[in-house]
Amino acid sequence: MSRYPAIRGLLFDKDGTLLDYAASWPPINREAGLLAAKGDAALAAELLRVAGGDPVTGFALGDCLLAVGNTQELAEAWCDAGSPFVLADLIFALDALFQGSIARMVPVCPLDDLFTRLRGAGFTLGIASSDSIASVTATAAHFGIADTLAFMTGYDSGHGAKPAAGMALAFCAATGLEPAEIAMIGDSRHDMEMGRAAGAGLRIGVLTGAGTRETLEPVSDFCLDSIIELETTLSRN
Ligand SMILES: [Mg+2]
């Protein structure tokens, strides 16, 4: 029996939530910096620093632009910091890099098994990401969860950007669920703040990405090590 019978929909962030951030993104962050710097290593290091990333490892510090920003926000910051690209060209190039990196992503767990079980338990599932909708769609296909999803949105889907409520409200509109019937699951404060702004019934932070227990606990109902604990948490008597 569910401890939270009112919760019928689960809206997941992607990076750092379904995908293990530390195992997936540092090398791609480094490549993004070099791309934006057109190969200038010193400028690439500066661009990573500006976005909150370690210039050597590419690891992004908690809740920094590199970890929680969307491509447009990142490209704007990098153009301001000296990237020789025109903004629109940099957005296009970064989105292409990110979309082309899906095969290198490491899932937190076998996502197809988890999502199939969650669907079987009656939950309506969705993904709300600050990545592009093309990347979200391709990620869902790559990991075999597309058929389990009722909703997907990216930063370029027209539902606004986190931490505003738009993406979560679009999930509700698409599925007929009330905000109080959904749980928002994510690795950053932006995800938890979006959940609060939308009136989500539960906000569940996970520690496989940009946040820490210190940053997530104050803004979430639960702070889990990962989505592996989700079923137990939702069904605990
Ligand atoms: Mg995330």
Distance CA 45, CA 23 (A): 20
pLDDT over threshold 90, residue 127: yes
Q: Are residues 143 and 218 in the same domain?
A: yes
pLDDT over threshold 80, residue 3: no
Q: Are residues 43 and 128 in the same domain?
A: no
Give residue 172's pLDDT.
Answer: 98
Q: What is the pLDDT of residues 40-78, one digit of tens each?
A: 999 999 999 999 999 999 998 878 899 888 999 999 999
Taking the centre of ligand 1 as the mean of its atom positions, its distance from the CA of residue 184, in whole angstroms, is 12
Tokens of 126: 């969705």
Distance CA 125, CA 171 (A): 9
Taking the centre of ligand 1 as the mean of its atom positions, its distance from the CA of residue 17, in whole angstroms, is 6
Taking the centre of ligand 1 as the mean of its atom positions, its distance from the CA of residue 177, in whole angstroms, is 23
Q: Are residues 48 and 33 in the same domain?
A: yes
3-state helix, strand, coil in the chain (%, to 5): 50, 15, 35
Tell me the mean pLDDT in the region 168-173.
98
Taking the centre of ligand 1 as the mean of its atom positions, its distance from the CA of residue 14, in whole angstroms, is 6
| pLDDT, the chain, mean | 95
Q: Domain for residue 2, yes or no?
A: no
Taking the centre of ligand 1 as the mean of its atom positions, its distance from the CA of residue 128, in whole angstroms, is 9
Q: Domain for residue 50, yes or no?
A: yes
Query: Omega into 179 within 30° of 0, i.e. cis?
Result: no
Tell me the mean pLDDT in the region 192-215.
96
Domain boundary residue, one of 83, 103, 123: 103
Q: What percent of the chain has pLDDT over 70?
A: 98
Q: Domain for residue 125, yes or no?
A: yes
Tell me the mean pLDDT in the region 135-147.
97
Taking the centre of ligand 1 as the mean of its atom positions, its distance from the CA of residue 28, in whole angstroms, is 15
Q: Are residues 114 and 230 in the same domain?
A: yes
Taking the centre of ligand 1 as the mean of its atom positions, its distance from the CA of residue 129, in whole angstroms, is 7
Taking the centre of ligand 1 as the mean of its atom positions, its distance from the CA of residue 224, in whole angstroms, is 14
If DSSP codes are grouped into helix, strand and coil, which group holds residue 12? Answer: strand
> Do 61 and 214 contact (CB within 8 A), yes or no?
no
Q: Domain for residue 175, yes or no?
A: yes
Tell me the mean pLDDT in the region 72-98.
97
Tell me the mean pLDDT in the region 220-229.
97
Lowest mean pLDDT among 8-12, 18-22, 164-168, 209-213: 209-213
Q: Are residues 98 and 114 in the same domain?
A: no
Taking the centre of ligand 1 as the mean of its atom positions, its distance from the CA of residue 136, in whole angstroms, is 12
Dihedral (C-alpha) 83, 86, 91, 94: value to the nearest 10 degrees?
-50
Q: What is the pLDDT of residues 181-201, one digit of tens each?
A: 999 999 999 999 999 999 999
Taking the centre of ligand 1 as the mean of its atom positions, its distance from the CA of residue 66, in whole angstroms, is 10
Q: Domain for residue 3, yes or no?
A: no
Taking the centre of ligand 1 as the mean of its atom positions, its distance from the CA of residue 40, in whole angstroms, is 28
Domain that holds residue 225: 9-20+107-236
pLDDT over threshold 60, residue 152: yes
- Helices 41-50, 71-80: inter-axial angle, 10-degree rounding: 120
Give residue 93's pLDDT.
Answer: 97
Taking the centre of ligand 1 as the mean of its atom positions, its distance from the CA of residue 159, in whole angstroms, is 17
Tell me the mean pLDDT in the region 74-87.
98
Taking the centre of ligand 1 as the mean of its atom positions, its distance from the CA of residue 121, in whole angstroms, is 25
Q: What is the pLDDT of residues 105-123, one digit of tens each?
A: 999 999 999 999 999 999 9
Taking the centre of ligand 1 as the mean of its atom positions, its distance from the CA of residue 63, in whole angstroms, is 9
Q: Are residues 225 and 209 in the same domain?
A: yes
pLDDT over threshold 90, residue 5: no
Distances (CA, A) of 178 to 42, 108, 131, 183, 233: 49, 28, 25, 11, 21
Give residue 237's pLDDT.
Answer: 42
Distance CA 111, CA 173 (A): 25
Taking the centre of ligand 1 as the mean of its atom positions, its distance from the CA of residue 185, in whole angstroms, is 9
pLDDT bin (cut points 50, 70, 90) of residue 1 is: very low
Distance CA 110, CA 166 (A): 29
Taking the centre of ligand 1 as the mean of its atom positions, its distance from the CA of residue 162, in whole angstroms, is 10
